[in-house]
Amino acid sequence: MDLRQLAALVAIADHGSFSAAAKALFTVQSNVSAHIARLEQEVGATLVDRSRGRLTEEGELVAARARAIQQELDAIYADLASRGKEVAGEARIGVISTTARWLVPQVLTALRAAHPLVRAIVVESPTTTLLPQLAAGQLDAAVVNLPIDEPEVVVEPIFEEEMLLLVTSTHPLAERSEVALAELAEHRLLLPAPGTSLRQEIDAEASREGIELAPLAEIDGVRLLTSMALDGFGATIVPATALPSWLTGNWVRVPVRGLAPRQVGLARRRRAVPSAPARAIADVLRDVVRTKGPLQRGVHVLLPAESS
């Protein structure tokens, strides 16, 4: 087994055919076919379904390990390129959508000033999508909703933010200065999808109150929840940063009494050593959260003060 064989398998997984994989690897299809045949012979299993151009179940298992190996190799090259000189190289970071809007532009600006040779590749997705990518080695780090239940991932809480009821100005609760969570049981709501961190937290608080919230719809994506509420589809519960401070319209924010703040954390793989570029991006991100987080409405920084 060699790295060319593993690279061929990952390329087929990513591009869907032998010919497309060959193009991505800047080689010819016969080379890709030969690499896969040798790899299958060595592991004693069929890794690619030739009729469909897709990986078999065994192929997916091998590809997941191959991605992790490639990630570690990239980290080695980046560390060596940065040794004794300015940090250089690229790293991939995932960010949940509501946080990405205010955090990513400021992180990229600060990164360009502090480490101009580091390139950040940013993936915006819900926590439920980011965690598998992080565990599989497709991301170096991810900013995610807490809590999470992923044994291969460790998390550092970075900030928490207040939870708000978002309603149009014609909603029965729009005139309230505050609403109790128990009162929301009388209204059908747009809620996060079952199994998401945000929904788990909301359901846990509701259970402690002895109530059950009735969903009008259940959606995995805070940005979509917010957009639907702003369009008048229904009321929803969202974190404070789901709404930019500059946004105005026919809607109001109502604080929810009895609902704990949402926690957001910086996650990384438990058994991986971050590359120099990944460490640089993480350090810049922490600095931005410390300095810019308090300026965001409803955000409270959880990171310790930077040591002098």
Q: What one-character-per-residue DSSP string does 71-120 give?
A: HHHHHHHHHHHHTTS---EEEEEEE-HHHHHHHHHHHHHHHHHH-TTEEE
CATH of 3-78, one of 3.40.309.10, 1.10.10.10, 1.10.1740.10, 2.60.40.1530: 1.10.10.10
Nearest alpha-carbon partner for 137 in 23, 275, 304, 280: 275
Q: CA-based Rg of the chain, rounded to a whole angstrom?
A: 23
Which residues sit opposite 214 in a β-bridge? 188
The whole-model pTM stands at 0.73
Distance CA 14, CA 55 (A): 10
CATH of 87-160+263-301, one of 3.30.465.10, 2.60.40.1890, 3.40.190.10, 2.40.160.10: 3.40.190.10
| Tokens of residue 252, six digits | 């109001």
Q: For every one of its 308 residues, what pLDDT tens digit does the chain have, with 9 covering 90 and above?
A: 788 888 888 888 888 888 888 888 889 889 888 988 888 888 888 988 888 778 888 888 888 878 777 777 776 766 666 665 688 888 999 999 889 999 999 999 999 999 999 999 999 998 989 999 898 888 999 999 998 888 889 999 999 999 999 999 888 899 999 999 999 999 999 999 998 888 998 999 999 999 999 999 999 888 899 999 988 899 999 999 988 777 777 889 999 988 889 999 999 988 777 888 999 999 999 999 999 999 998 999 999 987 54
